[in-house]
Structures are given as C-alpha cells and as structure tokens.
C-alpha cells in the first residue's frame, strides 16, 4: 500500500513539473548580438539624407551661413589587405527642387572591435565594440593627428529629434573642451562635438561647435566669436536605393 502511495505521489509531481514547463518561453535573441555594430550601419544600397546647417566664422562680425541637403549612399565593397570596406558616395543639393550632385567619396568599414570612417583620406575610429558607456578610445588611432579621446554617453536609449524618436540610439561624445584666460573668467576656445547613431540606420545627428572667441579689446568682454565653425546634420530621410526609384 505504501509503495502504491509513493508511486502515485511521484506521478503527480511529474505531471505538475511537466505542466509548469509549458509556460516557460525561450528568451528572445538580442537585437544586436554584436553590441553596437548595427548602429554603424553599412548595409549595401542604404541611403541617408540630412538637413545641414553651417556657420563659418571668418572674423569678428563676419560669417557665412549655409543651409543645404546632404545624401550618403553605401555603395560597392572593396578589400584592402584582407579588410572589407564600402564606398560612401556623398551628394549635395541646395533643396529638394534640385538634383543631387556628387560632392565626394568616402569609405567606411566595420571590423571585429571597431568602426572606421575614412573622411577626406583621414581614417577616424568612430566606434568601438562592444559598446559600453565606460569605454574610451582614440578617434585618431589610425592617423597622425593628435590623440582625441571619445566616449559613449548613452547606448540603446531613445533619442528624439524634431518629430522623430529613435527607440534605440547611442550618443558619442567626440569632444567636450573649453579653455579660459588665466583669470578663469573669459572663455577663449570651445570645442563641443557629438554624434548620434541609431540601430539599423546609422548616423542620425552630428553637431560640431568649434569656436575661438575674441580676447582683445571691447569684444573680449562679450564672448564674441572671432573664428571657427558651427555645423549640424539632422537625418530627414533614409531607406534603400531600390525602394521607390531612390
């Protein structure tokens, strides 16, 4: 009788355990198993269009303001020393009423631990993988320029730009420098640069503010720009070249 009771109890436990397992779902795979590579998006035939606003400061009270559109197209692949890269065609126009005109050709690549963009023949280390907000890296590691340490400010967080919200974005701090006179009051130079990348899209915003201020005469007391540049790119459209005749 005791053996029969124990046998029934064992069967009951097996039934309960089996029923419990039916409620357990497999964990969803990560959206980006490489932790960041899909943010530096180099899918073939991908295009991105930007509204560009730029101010070039030539001297005190002398500046040029430019507004135009920029388009990037991820083009054919090529290999150098076993490393695969893609050509990036950059086209510009004043507004949507004009045809795109080729401005320059850059290239870009994603390797095991980093992403590199070759801009005007200067290779820049844009990102490192896996993305981690504690990481720091040298933007100029692959060129002869002075070292420039970058870092991630956020990763896989929403980013809102105008009426658009990108649910998964990462913000890269390219530079955050300010210099002052010895008295610590007047700012003489400001270099603030950030880039924002969205998952499966690529760059969605670039904002550079590199300004040198007047330090002599009356203008020194008013933080007036003497030279430098303000530059902003904002994504306005993206897709693939075979979509709707693009």
CA atoms of 154 and 123, how far apart (whole Å): 24
Burial label, 116 (beta-carbon count in 10 A; 0-12, 13-18, 19+): buried
Sign of CA dihedral 225, 149, 87, 69: negative
CA atoms of 4 and 168, how far apart (whole Å): 59
The structural domains of the chain, ordered by start, are: 37-240 (2.40.360)
CA atoms of 86 and 73, how far apart (whole Å): 10
- Choose among 95, 64, 43: nearest CA to 239: 43
Per-residue pLDDT of the chain (246 residues; tens, 9 = 90+): 443 444 444 444 444 444 443 333 344 455 677 889 999 999 999 999 999 999 999 998 899 999 999 999 999 999 998 999 999 999 999 999 999 999 999 999 999 899 999 999 999 999 999 999 999 999 999 999 999 999 999 999 999 999 999 999 999 999 999 886 655 556 688 999 999 999 999 999 999 999 999 888 777 777 889 999 999 999 999 999 987 567
Between the CA of residue 115 and those of 157, 174, 196, 206, what are the distances in Å?
20, 14, 14, 17
Q: Which 3 state secondary structure label does DSSP give 216?
A: coil
pTM of the predicted model as reported, rounded to 2 decimal places: 0.84
- Choose among 107, 104, 48: nearest CA to 76: 107
pLDDT in tens, 39-94: 999 999 999 999 999 999 999 889 999 999 999 999 999 999 899 999 999 999 99
């Amino acid at each position: 009788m005791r053996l029969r009771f124990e046998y029934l109890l064992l069967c009951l436990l097996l039934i309960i355990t089996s029923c419990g397992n039916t409620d357990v779902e497999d964990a969803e795979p990560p959206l980006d198993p490489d932790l960041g590579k899909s943010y530096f998006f180099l899918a073939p035939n991908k295009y991105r269009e930007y509204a560009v606003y730029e101010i070039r400061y030539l001297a005190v009270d002398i500046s040029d303001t430019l507004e135009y559109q920029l388009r990037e197209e991820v083009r054919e692949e090529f290999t150098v020393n076993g490393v695969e890269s893609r050509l990036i065609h950059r086209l510009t126009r004043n507004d949507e009423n004009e045809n795109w005109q080729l401005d320059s050709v850059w290239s870009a690549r994603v390797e095991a631990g980093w992403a590199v963009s070759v801009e005007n023949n200067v290779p820049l280390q844009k990102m490192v993988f896996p993305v981690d907000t504690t990481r720091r890296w040298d933007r100029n590691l692959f060129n002869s320029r002075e070292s420039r340490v970058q870092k991630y400010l956020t990763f896989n967080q929403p980013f809102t730009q105008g009426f658009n919200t990108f649910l998964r974005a990462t913000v890269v701090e390219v530079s955050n420098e300010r210099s002052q006179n010895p008295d610590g009051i007047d700012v003489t130079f400001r270099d603030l640069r950030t880039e924002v990348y969205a998952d499966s899209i690529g760059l969605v915003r670039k904002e550079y503010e590199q300004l040198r201020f007047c330090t002599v005469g009356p203008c020194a007391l008013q933080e007036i720009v003497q030279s430098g540049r303000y530059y902003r790119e904002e994504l306005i459209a993206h897709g693939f070249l075979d979509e709707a005749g693009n």
